[in-house]
Structure 1
Amino acid sequence: MKNYSFLNDVKSKEKLLVQKKMKKTKDEDKKKELAKLLNRMNQQEQIEQKKRHRMEMEQQWKEKEKQLVKDGKTPYFLKKSEKKKLELAEKYKELQKSGKVDQYMSKRLKKNAQKEKKKLPGRHQRFM
């Protein structure tokens, strides 16, 4: 990541270029294509930020563990499920700060309800 950090600058310049082109173009089809491209660039940027944040959290955990091992504790390595739990806890804290916990939870409930509906046998399925 350190070796290729210059790519972030290139990406940001490309993003600005696409925004300028989108403002200048009058063709609707071309505008839609540029909007899709801009949206994809934004999504990739968000994914990259999440990845960096996850790596930072992991690095902090490892540093704490190194200190505890130096103090005499046996080393403990996080499992994937525990990492996910920590990420969810972090996300919940961020949502609490922004005041969007209720909105997030309602979306989660709707999503889970849809999953459950798909699992139920429907009219078109036959019982064997």
Structure 2
Amino acid sequence: MSFEEVLQLRNQVGMKAYQRMTSGKRAPSTKKPEKRQWPSKDRPLEISAKKPVSFLRQVVPVKKKASTLIVQKQLKKSRNVDQQTKLQQLLKRMTQQEVAHRKRQKERERDLAFKKEQRELAKQGKKPFYLKKSDKQKWELAEKYKELKRSGKLESFLSKKRKRNAAKDKRKLPFRKNL
């Protein structure tokens, strides 16, 4: 083979392939053996982006929540004391979660309404007004009092609050045995 033919072959095949052919050795494989590791239950599932995803793939398994009515029925049926206490705790926790969820939802809706109102005012050319944290707390407290007044529980709430404050004040007073 002439030198020109060798150069032409090297250009056609490529440098690495040419070196492999001339040396007679195989190039060490750069690919590592694949180790199969099972993902932990908390880690998100890794799926190749190159493969098309089926249309009805369940991305995250959804745990069904036991409804409050089912727990109440089980509580009425159960005769075991330990099981009754567990069910009562579960029922109490579920109701508290529902109340907290409703409260967060209401607060989110209130914030969104306020922001929407401010955006509309800004579109009209007025300067936007942003609530400070203290103003927001006062606003929430005023709404709480309105809700208590509407439901008729304001007097009992205020009397309990007075008793708590009186107990705090009593603790702060200096204590004397002999007067």
What band does the TM-score fall into relative to the shorter chain? Answer: 0.7 to 0.9
- Taking structure 1 as the reference length, what is the TM-score of the superposition? 0.78
- Taking structure 2 as the reference length, what is the TM-score of the superposition? 0.58
For residue 67 of structure 2, give the secondary structure of its aligned residue in structure 1. helix
For residue 72 of structure 2, give the secondary structure of its aligned residue in structure 1. helix
Report how far residue 39 of structure 1 moved: 0.5
Partner of 1:75: 128
> What CA deviation, in whole Å up to 9, does each residue of 1:53-102 have, x standing for no partner?
11111111111111111111111111111111111111111112112111
RMSD of the TM alignment (CA)?
A: 2.0
Give unpaired runs (5+ residues) of structure 2.
Answer: 1-61
Partner of 2:151: 98
Greater RCO, 1 or 2 (C-alpha within 8 Å, sep 6+): 1
Q: Return the structure number with greater helix share.
A: 1
| Identical counterparts, % of pairs | 46
Partner of 2:107: 54
Report how far residue 22 of structure 1 moved: 0.9
Partner of 2:8: none
Partner of 1:107: 160
CA distance in 2, matches of 1:75, 1:110: 42
Select which of 151, 158, 169 maps to 1:116: 169
Larger Rg: 2
